[in-house]
C-alpha cells in the first residue's frame, strides 16, 4: 500500500517507455515486503543534472540510469564506485548523505547471469563481437574475472584496438587481441586430440535487436563451429538469430534477459540492503519473459 512511508525509486532515460525495470523492482518490493515504488522518469536531453538534484531534493531512495545518460550523469555524482569509474558508465544511483553514489550493476549483473546459467569465465578463451560501449564493459569484466584470452572482433578494427590497448594496460599483459570481423577463420585450430578449438562468444552488437530480428552479425555456419557457448546481450527478442545459429551447430545459447534481471536485482540489493534469493530471482525472471513475449 502506498502511504506516508513509501519510498520512491525510478529510472532516468529517454526514451524510457520500453523499460522492464518497474516490473522487476515493484515485484521485488512486493515480495520482500519493502514499502517502495519504482517509476519511469523521462528526462529531457541536457537535464540529467537537474534530475539528479531533483531526485535528492525529493528524497528518492535510488535510481537507475539508462540510455542516453549513463556517462552524462557522472559529473553530477558525489561518489563513484571504482568499477563504474573504470567502465565509464553508471546505471545505478544510491542515495548517500549529500547526494548520490554511482554504480555500474550491468557488468556484475552479467556475471551473476553467467553464474546462474553455468557459464565459466576463469581460464576461458572468449570472443567478443562488437566494440561499442557494451563490448568495452564486457572486456573489462572478463579481464577482471580471469579470462585467459580475449579476442575482440569488430567491423571497425580501430575501435576494438582502443579497447584492447586500455584493458591490456590495466591487466599489464597482452590479454586482449583484436581481429577484423571478417577474419574469424583464423581462430580455427585443431587440437592435439583432433578436435576443433571452441570458444565462449559474447554477442555485444545491436545487430538482431527488435525490430530487425532477422539480422545476424555473422551467418556463415563455419563461424558457429568455433562456438561452444553463445551469449547474446540482446534481450528483445528473447530468442535471437545469433542464438539460433549457435544452437543449430550444437552450442549452448543464452540471451540478455537474465543480465537485465540481475542488473536490477543488484541495484535493488544496494538500495534496500536485502539479498534476493535465487528462487525469487527466477520468479521475477518468468514475469519478465512473459512481459517481453507479450510486448510484440
List interacting residues with ligand ATR (CB under 6 A): 130-135, 154-156, 159, 205-207, 217
- Is the Cβ of residue 205 or residue 263 nearer to ligand ATR in the bound state? 205
Least distance in angstroms from the C-beta of 233 to ligand ATR: 9
User: Using only C-alpha atoms, what is the Rg of the chain?
Assistant: 20
Active site residues: 70
User: C-alpha 149: how far from its chain's center?
Assistant: 20
Distances (CA, A) of 196 to 199, 223, 261: 10, 12, 34
Nearest to ligand ATR by Cβ — which residue?
A: 132
Least distance in angstroms from the C-beta of 155 to ligand ATR: 3
- Is the Cβ of residue 67 or residue 96 nearer to ligand ATR in the bound state? 67
Least distance in angstroms from the C-beta of 236 to ligand ATR: 14
CB 270 within 8 A of CB 94: yes
Using a 10 angstrom Cβ sphere, with 0-12 exposed, 13-18 middle and 19 or more buried, the burial of residue 242 is buried
- Is the Cβ of residue 8 or residue 206 nearer to ligand ATR in the bound state? 206
Least distance in angstroms from the C-beta of 158 to ligand ATR: 8
Least distance in angstroms from the C-beta of 43 to ligand ATR: 19
- Is the Cβ of residue 55 or residue 142 nearer to ligand ATR in the bound state? 142
CB 220 within 8 A of CB 249: no
What torsion do the CA atoms of 68, 71, 76, 81 make, to the nearest 10 degrees? Answer: 130
- Is the Cβ of residue 48 or residue 163 nearer to ligand ATR in the bound state? 163
Among candidate residues 25, 2, 24, 22, the one with its CA nearest the CA of residue 13: 22
CB 283 within 8 A of CB 32: no
Q: How far apart are CA 50 and CA 75, in angstroms?
A: 12
- Is the Cβ of residue 216 or residue 261 nearer to ligand ATR in the bound state? 216
CB 77 within 8 A of CB 99: yes
Least distance in angstroms from the C-beta of 27 to ligand ATR: 26
CB 242 within 8 A of CB 232: yes
Amino acid at each position: 500500500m502506498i502511504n506516508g512511508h513509501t519510498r520512491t525509486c525510478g529510472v532516468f532515460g529517454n526514451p524510457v517507455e520500453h523499460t522492464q525495470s518497474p516490473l522487476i523492482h515493484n515485484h521485488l518490493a512486493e515480495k520482500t515486503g519493502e514499502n517502495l515504488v519504482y517509476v519511469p522518469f523521462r528526462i529531457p536531453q541536457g537535464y540529467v543534472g537537474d534530475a539528479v538534484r531533483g531526485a535528492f531534493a525529493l528524497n528518492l531512495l535510488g535510481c537507475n540510469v539508462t540510455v542516453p545518460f549513463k556517462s552524462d550523469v557522472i559529473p553530477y555524482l558525489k561518489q563513484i564506485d571504482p568499477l563504474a569509474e573504470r567502465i565509464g558508465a553508471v546505471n545505478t544511483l544510491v542515495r548517500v548523505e549529500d547526494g548520490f553514489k554511482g554504480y555500474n550493476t550491468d557488468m556484475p549483473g552479467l556475471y551473476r547471469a553467467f553464474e546462474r546459467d553455468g557459464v565459466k569465465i576463469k581460464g576461458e578463451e572468449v570472443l567478443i563481437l562488437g566494440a561499442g560501449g557494451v563490448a568495452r564493459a564486457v572486456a573489462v569484466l572478463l579481464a577482471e574475472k580471469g579470462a585467459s584470452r580475449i579476442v575482440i572482433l569488430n567491423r571497425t578494427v580501430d575501435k576494438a584496438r582502443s579497447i584492447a590497448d586500455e584493458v591490456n594496460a590495466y591487466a599489464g599483459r597482452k590479454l586482449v587481441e583484436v581481429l577484423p570481423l571478417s577474419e574469424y577463420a583464423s581462430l580455427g585450430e585443431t587440437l592435439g586430440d583432433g578436435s576443433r578449438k571452441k570458444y565462449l562468444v559474447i554477442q555485444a552488437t545491436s545487430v538482431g535487436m527488435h525490430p530487425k530480428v532477422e539480422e545476424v552479425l555473422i551467418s556463415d555456419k563455419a563461424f558457429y563451429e568455433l562456438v561452444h557457448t553463445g551469449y547474446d546481450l540482446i534481450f528483445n527478442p528473447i530468442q535471437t538469430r545469433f542464438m539460433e545459429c549457435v544452437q543449430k551447430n550444437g552450442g549452448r545459447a543464452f540471451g540478455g534477459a537474465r543480465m537485465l534481471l540481475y542488473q536490477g536485482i543488484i541495484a535493488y540489493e544496494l538500495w534496500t540492503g536485502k539479498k534476493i534469493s535465487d528462487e525469487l530471482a527466477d520468479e521475477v525472471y518468468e514475469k519478465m519473459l512473459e512481459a517481453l513475449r507479450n510486448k510484440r
